[in-house]
């Protein structure tokens, strides 16, 4: 049993971590902080938690340093560029840190991070040993890591949809198209013109076409898997619903394949993965079937007369796309069952 801490517990990712960790069988205590609501009780900010703290926390939102002090593992759910210093402290004190911002998503490639996030690193050393926390890509490294960079939500859906093909060199790499769609929780807790119900309800559109920050991360993962540069065209869209991401991914096959062949390959590749479900041929992935869960459902389609592969992957952006995957990483870090605390059955509706 460990103590887990959440720095930034009142953002959407933070409170989703609270939801999962409070029922986690290996977490004995929770320590919480929030800049916006320091000194208040999380139950007053999120009354869904009323009566459910289960003795793991009194709900009081303290400061970040106290969280680090109290915890065996620290989750940082903060704006980009802030987690570094907590990582440094954790390393020093022999604690683990799982960051849910972009800070540790590019390993030691400061240049790319800086180009897309506009910030330099203050603690370059902590990046040297950090590990990108996509278990399906880096499980063994994760187990031995101290600092984990939890992947972006779109990135998780996109990467998992093409990993087996890239690993085997079966698709062309000059133009992989990721047409992705996300629910509005992806915009976070801060109210903006974008997430005003009257603006995004009953409406649908792409945004940040050709310039979304998840593009370089997807390209990085795909290139890593392919062993050579992959050109990624990534277009996110906003769906008038709360949770869920669909990535519809198009890639040209190096040579024609049947759906059955591709499906067999995916089934084999993911057969031991606890959170990737390769759907039977003829089925199509939907956000509906993964809502509230840590699953990534993928469905295989071969189109254009056998020349083009079309993959559909579905995740809950707040779970496998954020808090759930972070808990999965925690489980790997501490040797817990990989599914501990994230084995909820998704509701049918």
- CB nearer a copy of itself, residue 22 or residue 155: 22
- CB nearer a copy of itself, residue 112 or residue 242: 242
Q: Is 271 exposed, middle or buried (0-12, 13-18, 19+ CB in 10 A)?
A: exposed
In contact, 97 and 73? CB cutoff 8 Å? yes
Closest contact distance (angstroms) between CB of 169 and a copy of itself is 20
Closest contact distance (angstroms) between CB of 315 and a copy of itself is 12
Q: How far apart are CA 335 and CA 304, in angstroms?
A: 45
Name residue, tokens 């390959």. Answer: 265
Q: Catalytic pick from 90, 153, 200, 296?
A: 153
Q: Which distant-in-sequence residues (6+ apart) come within 8 Å of 267 by Cβ?
A: 278
Closest contact distance (angstroms) between CB of 227 and a copy of itself is 20
Q: How far apart are CA 340 and CA 231, in angstroms?
A: 36
CA distances from 172 to 157, 211, 242, 310 (A): 19, 22, 34, 13
Closest contact distance (angstroms) between CB of 163 and a copy of itself is 19
- CB nearer a copy of itself, residue 85 or residue 301: 301
90 is an active site residue: no
Largest CA distance in the chain: 62
- CB nearer a copy of itself, residue 39 or residue 51: 51
Which amino acids are annotated catalytic? Answer: 153
């Amino acid at each position: 049993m460990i103590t887990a801490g959440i720095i930034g517990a009142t953002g959407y990712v933070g409170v989703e971590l609270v939801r999962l960790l409070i029922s986690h069988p290996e977490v004995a205590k929770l320590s919480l902080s929030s800049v916006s609501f320091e000194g208040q009780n999380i139950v007053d900010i999120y009354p869904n938690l009323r009566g459910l703290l289960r003795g793991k926390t009194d709900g009081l939102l303290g400061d970040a340093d106290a969280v680090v002090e109290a915890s065996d593992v620290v989750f940082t759910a903060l704006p980009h560029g802030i987690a570094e210093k907590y990582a440094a402290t954790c390393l020093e004190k022999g604690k683990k840190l799982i960051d849910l911002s972009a800070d540790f998503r590019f390993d030691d490639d400061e240049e790319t991070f800086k180009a897309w996030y506009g910030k330099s690193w203050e603690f370059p050393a902590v990046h040297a040993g950090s590990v990108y926390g996509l278990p399906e890509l880096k499980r063994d490294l994760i187990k031995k890591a101290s600092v984990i960079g939890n992947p972006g939500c779109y990135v998780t859906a996109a990467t998992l949809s093409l990993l087996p093909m890239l690993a085997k060199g079966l698709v062309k790499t000059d133009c992989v198209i990721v047409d992705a769609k996300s629910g509005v929780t992806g915009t976070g807790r801060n109210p903006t013109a974008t997430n005003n119900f009257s603006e995004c309800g009953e409406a649908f559109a792409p945004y940040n076409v050709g310039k979304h920050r998840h593009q370089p991360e997807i390209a990085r993962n795909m290139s890593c898997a392919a062993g050579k540069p992959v050109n990624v065209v990534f277009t996110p869209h906003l769906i008038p619903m709360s949770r869920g991401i669909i990535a519809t991914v198009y890639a040209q096959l190096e040579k024609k394949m049947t759906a059955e062949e591709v499906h067999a390959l995916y089934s084999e590749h993911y057969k031991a993965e606890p959170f990737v479900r390769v759907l039977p041929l003829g089925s199509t992935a939907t956000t509906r079937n993964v809502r509230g869960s840590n699953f990534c459902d993928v469905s295989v389609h071969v189109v254009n007369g056998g020349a083009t592969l079309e993959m559909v992957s579905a995740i809950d952006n707040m779970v496998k796309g954020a808090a759930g995957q972070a808990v999965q990483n925690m489980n790997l870090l501490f040797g817990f069952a990989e599914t501990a605390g994230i084995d909820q059955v998704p509701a049918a509706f």
